[in-house]
Amino acid sequence: MFALMSLQVLQRIHKDRSVDGVPVPPDQLQDMAERMNFVCTSSSVHLAKMEFLENQHHMQAFLSLAESRLKSWIIKYGCQESVELMLHNYTLFVEKQRFFENYEALFQSLKQAGEAYVNADSSVEEGELGVRRFIREVVTQWRSLSMEVRSVRSMLEEVQSNWEKYSSSVASLQAWLDDAEKALSQPENTKREFFRNLSHWMDEHATMNDAGNFLIETCDETVSLDLKQQLLLMNGRWRDLFLKVKQYARADELEKWRKDHLKAVSALKELLDTAEARLNAPVNVSFLSVRAFLQDVEDTKQKVPAMETQYKLAARSGQLLTKDAPQDEAARVLVTLATAKSQLSKVRERCPSLMRECHVLLPLLEETEKHIAAFYQALERASSITSAERETEPHSQAQYKHKWQELLNQQQSCKRCLSVIEKNHHSLQKALSTSKVLKNVNLSLLQKRVSEIQASAQVKVGDWRRQEEANNSLRRRFEDSRQELERVLNRSQSCLRETGDAEDLLKKHTEIFSQCDQRVLNVFLKACDELTDILPEEEQQKLQETVRMLHKHWKVRGFFYSLLILIDFGG
């Protein structure tokens, strides 16, 4: 804005060649114009540089503040209240004031200002190198600084947590020591009951020392000295008391070991019972059932390491328990562990064998079930062909041949499928009968399916055979009746060709024609009708031609017979 206003003033002076009426020499006007031109052309570079320097100073101030705060946190700590205040201040600075987000915003602004500065005057090589170098230094410094700032939280939280543990354990342990010192003068039963949970206070004493020693190392000298003195007093009281009551800790430990052992044994028993239930579950022989069983076996095998780990826990707690437990209880513990070990060993040994033998069965079952499906499919197609043959209209010779060829193919397919099914069934029977581990696999379901398939095949083969025999019977009946009819007609025709005495011929012809029974024709026509139902269209046409020819001859024979009767009657 200032440069724009100055330019406008200069342009007015240059136009008027005077200032408030006072003339300005030309050389001075030229000098002013050159200087203004320089300012206008270099102002963007100076502005970019100033913006970069401003961002640079902001980043330096931010990092300096962060370094200062970090130094205030990385110190020897004080009392519990001061640590809590320090953690509160840390949270306020880092989270509430968005420390990391602010850095990211400053850094992006710095990068943009640096790029703008370099782009505004790319000829200034030294300036570009300075910008790049400063940004690299910021990145390096921030990487270290941010890591240390983040680690401050975990350290402060750990110190605070140890202060809380220490204060709590000291308070509770002091109160208990007061009561315990009074309990020493009580009767034995009362003391035994009071010190029944001595192991809990042993843990509390250990917690106090662990937290106290940590604080001694991390706190300033004054606080550390106070902690040392307090721990010295507390440990002295504890030592004096523990020497007098340590015998009661054994009973408490025994109860703890007993609970630990029962818990470990219960978890182990649950794992083993589940494994045995899976490995011994009844399995009907089918592809899906055996595959599901195999998956259960594989899952069980994967859990064997967990069972072994649980057994080790049970054995360790059992070993501790048997040292001080009564003899009968120790014996029961050992028996329980021995039983569990035996179960675990069986599960571990059975899984690989079961998996191996299931992998042998699965291909056989898959192939068997595939052929069972193919068998029923072929059987259904064959049945549809034979049923359609009885219901549909006559076909052409080509259709007829194609259909019966298809029927033959389906019949052969049924036989092949049945052969594979029976072969695989035999292999499965042999595999299961010789198996030492697959005792829970039941073959009865597959046996039933195979029996049903064999029965279906037997029924259908019988149906097909009977149908074929019926068709052959119709053909034989037709041929027999045709031959009989042709014999009668041939005899009639041959006698008509005879020569001789007319009266003798008339008598002979009358005798022969009178023996021609109408039933011969009726039997032939009936056989023809029955055969027509099973013949293709082309053969039906040939059959009809034969029938028409023979029927025509029969009518001719009938005409001559009628003529003979008239002649005989007229004579």
pLDDT digits (tens, 9 = 90+) for 284-300: 888 888 888 889 888 98
Lowest-confidence pick of 191-200, 247-256, 382-391, 547-556: 547-556
The DSSP secondary-structure symbol of 392 reads S
How far is the C-alpha of 407 from the C-alpha of 384, rounded, in Å?
Answer: 9
H or E stretch covering 252: helix 221-279
Q: What is the CATH number of domain 362-468?
A: 1.20.58
**What are the residues whose beta carbons fall under 8 Å from the beta carbon of 7, sequence distance 6 or more?**
36, 40
Q: In 3-state terms, what secondary structure has residue 374?
A: helix
State the Rg of the chain over Cα. Answer: 57
Name the DSSP class of 124: -
Angle at 33 between CA 32 and CA 34, to 5 degrees: 90
Q: Is it true that domain 474-570 has CATH number 1.20.58?
A: yes
For the CA atoms of 288, 292, 297, 299, the dihedral, rounded to the nearest 10 degrees, stands at 150
Positive or negative, the CA dihedral 148, 151, 157, 162 is: negative
Residue 215's CB is within 10 A of a number of other CB atoms, namely 23
Compute the average pLDDT of residues 322-331: 77
Which is nearest to 156 in space by CA: 70, 30, 250, 54? 70
- pLDDT of the residue at 444: 74
Say which DSSP state 197 is in. Answer: G
- Alpha-carbon distance of 409 to 317, in angstroms, equals 72
Question: 């949970």: which residue's tokens?
Answer: 197
φ, ψ (nearest 5 deg) of residue 508: -65, -45
d(C-alpha 298, C-alpha 348), whole Å: 11
The count of other CB atoms within 10 Å of the CB of residue 121 is 16
Summary mean pLDDT of the chain: 75
* pLDDT one-digit tens code per residue, 523-534: 656 666 665 655
Read off the DSSP letter of residue 96: I
Q: At what angle do helices 444-496 and 502-514 cross, to 10 degrees?
A: 160
CA end-to-end span of the chain: 158
What was the pLDDT predicted at 31? 65
Q: Which of 182-191, 230-239, 351-360, 456-465 has the lowest mean pLDDT?
A: 456-465
Q: Answer whether residue 4 shows pLDDT above 60.
A: no
Strands (E), 467-513: none
Question: In this model, does residue 518 exceed pLDDT 90?
Answer: no
pLDDT band at 564 (very low <50, low <70, confident <90, very high): very low
Helix, strand, or coil here: 77? strand
Helix (H) or strand (E) holding 361: helix 327-391
Q: At what angle do helices 198-218 and 125-183 cross, to 10 degrees?
A: 150
The mean per-residue pLDDT over the stretch 28-49 comes to: 64
Q: Quick one: average pLDDT of 106-124?
A: 74
User: Amino acid identity, residue 544?
Assistant: Q
CB 63 within 8 A of CB 145: yes
Q: How far apart are CA 269 and CA 314, in angstroms?
A: 10
Q: What percentage of the chain exceeds 70 in pLDDT?
A: 66
The predicted model scores a pTM of 0.43
- The predicted structure's pLDDT at residue 367: 86
Residue 556: what pLDDT? 46
Cβ–Cβ < 8 Å for 45, 120: yes
Q: Which residues of 514-548 are buried (b: 16+ CB within 10 A; e: fewer)?
A: eebeeebbebbbebbebbbebbbeeebeebeeebe
How confident is residue 451, by pLDDT bands cut at 50, 70 and 90?
confident
Long-range contacts of 185-194 (CB under 8 A, 24+ apart): 191/245, 191/248, 192/248, 192/251
* Mean pLDDT computed over 337-358: 87
> Region 116-144: what's the mean pLDDT?
74
Q: Is the pLDDT of residue 357 over 70?
A: yes
Kindly state the helix (H) or strand (E) to which residue 318 belongs, with its residue range. Answer: helix 304-324
66's CB contacts (< 8 A; 6+ apart) are 99, 103, 145, 149
Paired residues of 23 in beta bridges: 18
Tokens standing for residue 212:
């106290």
- How far apart are the C-alpha atoms of 141 and 107, rounded to whole Å? 12
What phi-psi label fits residue 403: left (phi over 0), alpha (psi between -120 and 50 degrees) or beta? alpha
Could you tell me the pLDDT band of residue 206, with boundaries at 50, 70 and 90? very high
Q: Which residue has the higher pLDDT, 83 or 545?
A: 83
Give the model's confidence band at 398: pLDDT under 50 very low, under 70 low, under 90 confident, else very high: low
Residue 566, pLDDT above cutoff 70: no
Torsion (CA) 353, 359, 364, 369 in degrees, nearest 10:
120
Confidence of residue 237 (pLDDT cuts 50, 70, 90): very high
Band (pLDDT 50/70/90 cuts) for residue 213 is very high
Secondary structure letter of residue 219 according to DSSP: B
Q: Count the Cβ atoms, other than its own, within 10 Å of residue 4.
A: 8
Q: Which helix (H) or strand (E) holds 131?
A: helix 125-183
